Structure formats: C-alpha cells, structure tokens
Amino acid sequence: MDTRPIGVFDSGVGGLTVAKEIMSLLPNEKVIYFGDTARVPYGNKSQHTIIKFSQQIVRFLIEKDVKAIVIACNTANAYALEAMQEIFNIPIIGVAQPGAQMAIQATKNNKIGIIGTEGTIQSKIYSKLIQSMNTDAHVYGKACPLFVPLVEEGLLNDSVTYEIANRYLRTLKEKQVDTIVLGCTHYPLIKTLLQEIMGESVNLVDPAFETAKNLKALLINQNRINENNNDKYNHYFYVSDRAEKFEHLAKIILNHPMMPVEQINIEDY
C-alpha cells in the first residue's frame, strides 16, 4: 500500500473534471491539484513553452511527494507528456489515449470530430492515436480557442458561449460526425450546451472517466493503491494566480469539501 498522494495538473480549472473522476473512482486516494491560472490558456503557446511549464509543475508535485502524476491538460499532453516521462522517474499519464479509445468504441459511422485548443488540434495527437487503432476512421479537428477563457470566466450557460460554440461546431455538423471528443478538460463544463447544439444523436466523449480508470489500473499494477485513508481533508489545491475565482469554480465542479486554495510562485520551480 502507498499512502502518498496523486498529482494532477492543468492550465486552470478544467483539469478538475479529471480530478473529480479520480476522487470518485479512487475514494481513498489523496489528490494534490495544481492549476496554472497565471499562464492559462496553454493552447496558443509553443511546445518549448509548454514543456518548460510542465517541468516546473512536475518538479513542484514531486516536491509534494506524489506517487503518480496525471497531466489533465490536453495541450500539455500533446506537447510535453513524452518529454516528462523521459525526464522524470515517476509514473506520468495523460488524457489523450483514453479519449481516443473511447471515441473508437462510441462511433458507428467512423466519422469522429475533435475539439480542442489550437495547440492540441495542431499536434494531431488524437488523429494519430485514433487512426493507429482504427484505419477506417475519418478524424476532423476543430480548434475552439475561446472556450477556455469563457469557462475560466464562469460563463458556462451564457448566450455568448452558445453563439460561439454554434459557430465552431458548424463544420463538424457538415462533416456528419457521430462522435466528438472533448479534447480539452475545460470542455466538459459546457457539455450540456454542446450536446444541445449537436443533438442527442452525437456522442460527446469526455476522457476524464477513462483516464481515472487507467490511473487505477496503473496503481494496482504497481501495488501503489491506498486502501485506508481516514484524513478529513485529503485533497489540496494550488494555483499560480489569485485563488478566489478558482476556488469558486472548484466548489461548483467538485461539489466536495475543500481545503483553502493556496497560491504559489510556480516560476520558483
């Protein structure tokens, strides 16, 4: 048994959708979450910058003595996962592989849409993964750069968000996709709105649950599961900018008792 915590990081609040699934599937595990709120969004930044940011965050989480790390940011997954796995001697997993596997299982017509940040779409990470597993699949990527700032502002059901989403998704409607991967961990927070636009016949794939399942399998395989956790507050949250807005959204997303969110200077790492 390994009672050390699990590290989870994202560019902001979006990765809390992954953290929530981990907390649900692995209720005895402690989670240490870092949201890089000072530098959100990641989607318009270069690979070099994303690798630098990811290194700083992984160092911070290792200092907190985590036993495994989940990169709950699709852009960091696309640009930095392999580099982090090579640099650091700790299990590190991402969200793209589980998302790709779910999309293949969900599609009936082999027409799959991917929505994500500019960085995730340009990397073609989902296209490569899906087509490596299903050569008959047709994958259509659509960058939706305004979704992250809208979510970070808490405009989850706003008419502005609906209008922008309607414009973004028009292309995928024309392609007649029957499955869309929410290729950014912020996007499940507007899933109801996206489903309304696309219609109930289109599957919206959220990789968060499958990522939690992959993490559980990894911990079991490496004999790192925590089977007995009696801590009253077992999850800790850190951000790189002011904590108030993050804390407000986190309480809505997690619906879980929270320790106060602590702001740190991630550049020190």
Query: In the annotation, is 73 catalytic?
Result: yes
Which is catalytic among the residues 23, 71, 73, 172? 73
Q: Determine if residue 186 is labeled as part of a ligand binding site.
A: yes
Query: In the annotation, is 144 catalytic?
Result: no
Which is catalytic among the residues 51, 102, 184, 194? 184
CA nearest to 116, candidates 135, 134, 107, 103: 103
Q: Determine if residue 10 is labeled as part of a ligand binding site.
A: yes
Under 8 Å CB-to-CB from 251, ≥6 apart: which residues? 258
Under 8 Å CB-to-CB from 133, ≥6 apart: which residues? 100, 101, 104
Q: Determine if residue 74 is labeled as part of a ligand binding site.
A: yes
Q: Determine if residue 75 is labeled as part of a ligand binding site.
A: yes
Q: Determine if residue 2 is labeled as part of a ligand binding site.
A: no
List binding-site positions for substrate.
10-11, 42-43, 74-75, 185-186
List binding-site positions.
10-11, 42-43, 74-75, 185-186
Active site residues: 73, 184
